[in-house]
Amino acid sequence: MEERLQSDRRYAERHLSRLRFDALAASPVFKNASMAISGLPREALHTLYSDHHLWLQSWLRRRLGCAFDAADLTHDTYARLIRSNRAPNPDESRSWLVRIAKGLVIDLLRRRRLEISYRAALALLPEREEPSAEEREITIEMLIDIDATLDRMPAKARQAFLLNRLERLTYPQIAERLNVSVASVQKYMLAAIKACYSAAYSEHVAN
């Protein structure tokens, strides 16, 4: 009886895996990509999904503490893999998936942190000045882009920008704090402002 139950469970899991993969394959992400990644046929893609998606979802659930977030990021991980038009070797599948998933986890946590800070700032505004839902979403996306841009900056450029914007230090004060020249601070600030402006407006204005 127990053997029959285990067999039925394995069959159900395979069937559910196929349904999930078919749902992913029907998504615009999959349709817009080629039906093969680096020569990998659709059935091989399904194998990559069925062999590892439950393991990846469990891995994400342990790190996020939320089954719903884990399910969403599992789907997003495979979607990003499809968009990359690259495929891992079979013995590297899980390391590839984890590498993609880690980046998505960082993005999710960054977004949550920024959303909390933004909501806290909004709570200080008079009710009549609160932005619309669409404006809030656009602002959050801008903040995410700026935050990611700051992460990519050289350390001293990032420090100079934050000291000026958050602590309101003057350029001479920043130069003293960082042990650099005022001319260097000016160069850091110019590069940082350009990068943040581009991150905040270029893509969103184009959209």
Q: How far apart are CA 150 and CA 160, in angstroms?
A: 11
Higher-scoring residue by pLDDT: 110, 38: 110
Is residue 104 over pLDDT 80?
yes
- pTM for this prediction: 0.61
Residues facing residue 37 across a β-bridge:
40
Look up residue 36 and give its DSSP letter.
S
How far apart (Å, rounded) are the C-alpha atoms in residues 16 and 10?
Answer: 10
pLDDT tens per residue, range 156-175: 999 999 999 888 999 999 99
CA–CA dist 98, 105 (Å, integer): 10
pLDDT digits (tens, 9 = 90+) for 170-196: 999 999 999 999 999 999 999 999 888
Q: Spell out the domains of the chain, with CATH numbers in brackets.
A: 1-130 (no CATH), 134-207 (1.10.10.10)
Nearest partner of 12 among 60, 59, 54, judged by Cα:
54
